[in-house]
A and B are shown apart, each in its own frame.
Chain A
Amino acid sequence: MNPVAPAELSALLDSELPSQRADEVRHVLRADPALASAFENLARLDAAWKAQAAGLAFRPRASLQHGLRHRCLRTGALLLGLGGLRLGLKLAPPAFEIVVALAVLALVVGWGVGYLIRTSEDDCWWLVRRAVRLGPSEAAAGP
């Protein structure tokens, strides 16, 4: 019989050893109290870790249908926006181009800021508090 490699104790614990080898390892464990004690200790800790980790399982609010619908809507809105823009540029006076350019700039800046501040709730509140604090005090300290 092959001696038991330490990693095989983990594999036995996880029921990942082939059945014949698992029987051999169990046989060795019965004959070796020190090894059996090490295995029992590992099994005890493993059970505790599994129980702790199980406390984290939760059903996420995520679904393929929702994701696909969201993606379709986004793509549709983008295509519609581009089509409208092209049509507007063809038909409208030059002032329209300036309005469109400003709208595009606002969209890009808005997306960039949104990307940067899209963070945890705590961080969002911190940003709001900071903005509120900065506003009046800066106005008061101005020239």
Chain B
Amino acid sequence: MVLRDDRRAQFERWVEPLMSRAAAYAYSLLRNRADAEDAVQDALLKGYAGLDNYDEARPFQGWWFAVVRHCCLDLIRRRQIRRSFLRWLGRQPAAAPATSQAEELLRYLERLTPLQRQVLELRYFGDCSYRDMAETLGIPDGTVMSRLHAARQALAEIYRKEQT
């Protein structure tokens, strides 16, 4: 019992400083605040349940963001079923309006390839280091570096086109 309480306290200590970043990262994937909160809640439970699989030699943020990412992708799959049902009832999907500068950035990110988008979402919304990103995406650090640079170049190009 004491061991389990210690483990839980340790998990909460690790997770606490990452909550806002995890929420922003989840929002960048889901584009909906309530869904982002649901995904983070789900990730807390799954992360705690799977804490035995976490190797302390590896960065915790990268590991937990992988859990958050998994929960978000799960939610996206479930949301697609719901959207199909609503479409079947005649509901036309409405495009989300760009209400803030962050939304504008998200709209530009949508025009990148999925691989480029992945690293930029983790970098800007999750504030992840290269090691964290490598851990979350399961790729080598060097790949993160080159992919991030290519993604920034592509995003800069989109910005230039939008500004002119």
Contact = CB atoms under 8 A, between A and B. Distances in A.
B82 A118 contact: yes
A51 B80 CA distance: 31
B45 A67 contact: yes
Interface residues of A, number: 44
B125 to A, nearest CB: 5
A57 B21 contact: yes
A14 B123 CA distance: 10
Given A62-B44, A126-B91, A50 B124 contact: yes
Interface in A49-104: 49-64, 66-68, 71
Interface in B19-49: 19-24, 26-28, 32-34, 36-37, 40-42, 44-45, 48
Interface in B133-164: 145-146, 148-150, 152-153, 155-156, 159
A43 B8 CA distance: 40
B124 A116 contact: no
A103 to B, nearest CB: 25
Contacts of B23: 57-60, 62
A120 B34 contact: yes
Contacts of A64: 8, 11-12, 15, 44-45, 48
A67 B45 CA distance: 7
Interface in B69-100: 79, 81-83, 85-86, 89-91, 94, 100
B86 A123 contact: yes
Chain B interface size range? 35 or more
A120 B86 CA distance: 11
B35 to A, nearest CB: 8
A58 B48 CA distance: 22
Nearest to B101: A52
Contact of A10 (B28, B86, B149): B149
A71 B42 CA distance: 11
Contacts of B36: 60
A122 B82 contact: no
16 contacts: A7-B150, A8-B145, A52-B104, A53-B105, A54-B102, A55-B100, A59-B19, A60-B37, A62-B19, A62-B40, A62-B41, A63-B41, A64-B11, A64-B48, A117-B85, A130-B90
Interface of B: 8, 11-12, 15, 19-24, 26-28, 32-34, 36-37, 40-42, 44-45, 48, 79, 81-83, 85-86, 89-91, 94, 100-102, 104-105, 123-125, 129-130, 145-146, 148-150, 152-153, 155-156, 159
Interface of A: 6-11, 14, 16, 41-42, 45-46, 49-64, 66-68, 71, 115-123, 126-127, 130
